[in-house]
Amino acid sequence: MNIRYCLPIVKNKKEKIVAIIKNNQDYSYFELWLDYIKDLDVELVKQLADQMGEKLILVFRRKNLEAVQLNSKKRQEIISLLNNSLALLDLDIFNQKEELEYIRANDLKIKTIISYHNYDQTPEDEKLYAILDTMKQYTPAIFKIATKCNSQKDALRLLELLLAMKEKHVKCIILGMGNFGMVTRIFGSIWGNEMIFAPITKSEESAEGQLTKKQLEKIFELL
């Protein structure tokens, strides 16, 4: 069973981030939430992208899709330096159109995770497939759907979506948030999600319903 763990890092100081990455090399990926870093500079991003390559995932958005504080010029500067990089840039399909269009307009070669987040509900299947069709316009390296599961049926629908994507050999991350969504994190990892987000402690989760790496390892060991 090849489980690829991703460590979400939501910290406000560069030194904390560097230390966390250094001390947790057993993770396959590191998801860095840029808008929370108070002393963020472009040099840090360039250094990490050069050193870590495809293990690095950069995120501009904030939790619950709150307004991004990093100004547009700084975001574009960071995007430009990722041209031809192996690092991944996660952009929300509806909330970060400016960044997506900037990449397209400047013909930048950037590996993207085009994502959709809904912290209230899991839309009906027809809408989910329509969202995926919209994502295709930007040729993502990985498609990502993360929605709040308000019932067991929501979780099952997400798992069915994952299986449908894998049948087409599409790289994706399909996850449910909340208590009902936990099952998608377990079986999604087994059935083909590109990665699973696993904080070191529960208090460091970047989305509701995430399980820690230790919890997941124990579950997969039992399975």
Each residue's pLDDT tens digit, 155-190 = 999 999 999 999 999 999 999 999 999 999 999 999
Binning pLDDT at 50, 70 and 90, where does residue 64 land? confident
* Contact by Cβ (8 Å): 209, 185: yes
pLDDT exceeds 80 at position 95: yes
Distance CA 156, CA 184 (A): 8
pLDDT exceeds 90 at position 134: yes
DSSP-derived pairing of the beta strands 196-197 and 111-118: unpaired
* Contact by Cβ (8 Å): 81, 50: no
Task: Report the percent of the chain where pLDDT is more than 70.
Answer: 100
pLDDT, one tens digit per residue, over 181-206 is 999 999 999 999 999 999 999 999 99
Where b means 16+ CB within 10 Å and e means fewer, 1-31 reads eeeebbbbbbbeebeebeebbeeeeebbbbb
Ramachandran sector of residue 65 (left: φ over 0; alpha: ψ -120 to 50; beta: rest): left
Binning pLDDT at 50, 70 and 90, where does residue 103 land? very high
Task: Give the CATH fold of the 5-222 domain.
Answer: TIM Barrel (3.20.20)
Work out the number of other CB atoms within 10 angstroms of the CB of residue 62: 17
pLDDT at 12: 94
β-sheet with 172-177: strand ranges across: 172-177, 142-148, 111-118, 88-92, 56-59, 29-33, 5-9, 196-197
Rounded mean pLDDT of 69-94? 96
Distance CA 58, CA 38 (A): 15
* Contact by Cβ (8 Å): 21, 9: yes
- Tell me the domain boundaries of the chain: 5-222
Distance CA 14, CA 12 (A): 7
Q: Output the furthest CA–CA distance in the chain (Å, rounded).
A: 49
pLDDT at 65: 83
